[in-house]
Amino acid sequence: MGSIDAPTFTQNGSDATVAADGPPPPVPDSIIMTMEKTLEADSSRKRRFGMLPLEVGTRVMCRWRDGKYHPVKVIERRKMHIGGVNDYEYYVHYTEFNRRLDEWVKLEQLDLESVEAVVDEKVEDKVTSLKMTRHQKRKIDETHVEGHEELDAASLREHEEFTKVKNIATIELGRYEIETWYFSPFPPEYNDSLKLYFCEFCLNFMKRKEQLQRHMRKCDLKHPPGDEIYRSGTLSMFEVDGKKNKVYGQNLCYLAKLFLDHKTLYYDVDLFLFYVLCECDDRGCHMVGYFSKEKHSEESYNLACILTLPPYQRKGYGKFLIAFSYELSKKEGKVGTPERPLSDLGLLSYRGYWTRVLLDILKKHKGNISIKELSDMTAIKAEDILTTLQSLELIQYRKGQHVICADPKVLDRHLKAAGRGGLEVDVSKLIWTPYKEQG
């Protein structure tokens, strides 16, 4: 260890003067100051190298892609082939940011002077604090373990431990190469691959480009399997039944999990319908995003997971998918709500959608309107309407009851802040029969 440290130490420092034998000659003050600083730097360096390699759980400042230092927590470490205490890479979580920014960093990105003395013994255990319904537990199956309903806190912790480091770094899908955000439980034979190649139509995935090229020559799909239930301009929506297209459903879940953190994976794809949004051209229908929906939901969920693939994000497709999920609920004559928990981006998108839809109605409406009426008109669940209007401070308690206060100027201000409306769903282009009415 020492011998490997030495060159690095010498390279960075000027310790030769400090280590010189015999009494030092008299020196002017400024030089003494410099020597004191050098001694300080020396001991600091020794201290720093003494702490290497850093323990998992260490909190330290790390240089991010914006060139600035941000606090991180070390989640994992791995030895590089060259060896030595400073030849480790660290997988870090930026504590101010979402887990999708977690990444492997080199030692030189870390400011060792900022290492905090206390090392957390366990990586944050979000799972044990996660309140899960029996229904949610039923659906956890990221580790291919059957009978996972019985997962106790320890197994959940193990599960969190298993998923803490991203496994696949990038994927190729159609004409895009996409950096992934989170761990996804691909079958074990894919464990040694950093990059996966997806067929953009059937979503089969492969380890090598040549395999994909061979596959593309024989794959006869040019759009998702299932029924095209909506077409407007170049946009199409396909309904895929997880029971009829099991492999497609599973592939879609593997793909989606790369961008969804606390959502659980559904191997039980039989129970779901997948609504896949595509941009179509003469080469085929290219997946933009999707949402899944349980065939029967006890909790009135009208959407389980929603994803817009990163190259298509911030273009209004998310709001289109959300609007579409409510249009389906309207056709079913039901109110709906998205499954919880919502991600940060999910919450932003839903808040924006709810605000826009509700305030548009309030602006046009003359006379009194109740939350129940708003819910009937929009298929948005009453609780979501109440929380949205409360967060906008549009609900007041007057004479013993809650009333909606809709001052047009305030409504306009909120509408402006809610951002753009997103891509419109043209309901006249939706040709669809609810699942329970399908033969």
Q: Which residues bind ligand ACO (CB under 6 A)?
A: 259-260, 263, 303, 305-308, 313-319, 338-339, 342-343, 345-346, 348-349, 352, 419-420, 422
Q: What is the distance between the alpha carbons of residues 184 and 163, in angstroms, rounded to a whole number?
A: 8
Q: Could you say which residues in the range 204-223 bind Zn ion, by CB under 5 A?
A: 219
Residue located via tokens 């912790």? 157
Name every residue whose Cβ is closer than 8 Å to that of residue 293 and which is 6 or more positions away in sequence.
Answer: 272, 273, 274, 275, 301, 302, 303, 304, 325, 328
3-state secondary structure of 241: strand
Residue 328 burial (C-beta neighbours within 10 Å; 0-12, 13-18, 19+)? buried
- Smallest distance from the beta carbon of 227 to Zn ion, in angstroms? 19
CA 161 to chain centre: 17
- Smallest distance from the beta carbon of 220 to Zn ion, in angstroms? 8
Residue 199 binds which entry of ligand ACO, Zn ion, none, CB below 5-8 Å type-dependent: Zn ion
Packing angle between helix 371-378 and helix 344-364, nearest 10 degrees?
A: 110
- Smallest distance from the beta carbon of 318 to ligand ACO, in angstroms? 2
What the block records as the tokens of 337 is 């709500």
- Smallest distance from the beta carbon of 252 to Zn ion, in angstroms? 13
Q: Which is nearer to ligand ACO, 204 or 313 (CB)?
A: 313
Residue 305 binds which entry of Zn ion, ligand ACO, none, CB below 5-8 Å type-dependent: ligand ACO
Q: Which is nearer to ligand ACO, 240 or 260 (CB)?
A: 260
| Closest chain position to ligand ACO (CB) | 318
Of the residues 339, 373, 393, 437, only one is catalytic, namely: 339
| 389, 333 contact by CB (below 8 A) | no
Concatenating the DSSP letter of every residue in 150-200 gives G--HHHHHHHHHHTSS-S--EEEETTEEEE--S-----GGGTT-SEEEE-T
- Smallest distance from the beta carbon of 218 to ligand ACO, in angstroms? 31
| 9, 15 contact by CB (below 8 A) | yes
- Smallest distance from the beta carbon of 211 to Zn ion, in angstroms? 11
**How many residues bind Zn ion, per CB under 5 A?**
4
Q: Which is nearer to ligand ACO, 61 or 322 (CB)?
A: 322
Residue located via tokens 């309140």? 131
Q: Which is nearer to Zn ion, 199 or 260 (CB)?
A: 199
Q: What is the distance between the alpha carbons of residues 91 and 62, in angstroms, rounded to a whole number?
A: 11
Residue 349 binds which entry of Zn ion, ligand ACO, none, CB below 5-8 Å type-dependent: ligand ACO
> Pattern 166-205, binding to Zn ion, x per CB under 5 A?
---------------------------------x-xx---
Q: In what order do the strands lie in the sheet with 69-79?
A: 103-106, 88-94, 69-79, 59-63, 110-111
CA 48 to chain centre: 34
Q: Which is nearer to ligand ACO, 90 or 290 (CB)?
A: 290
Residue 357 binds which entry of Zn ion, ligand ACO, none, CB below 5-8 Å type-dependent: none
Q: What is the distance between the alpha carbons of residues 262 and 285, in angstroms, rounded to a whole number?
A: 29
Q: Which is nearer to ligand ACO, 225 or 352 (CB)?
A: 352
Residue 318 binds which entry of Zn ion, ligand ACO, none, CB below 5-8 Å type-dependent: ligand ACO
Residue 202 binds which entry of ligand ACO, Zn ion, none, CB below 5-8 Å type-dependent: Zn ion
| 158 part of the active site | no
Q: Annotated catalytic sites, by residue?
A: 339
Q: Which residues bind Zn ion (CB under 5 A)?
A: 199, 201-202, 219
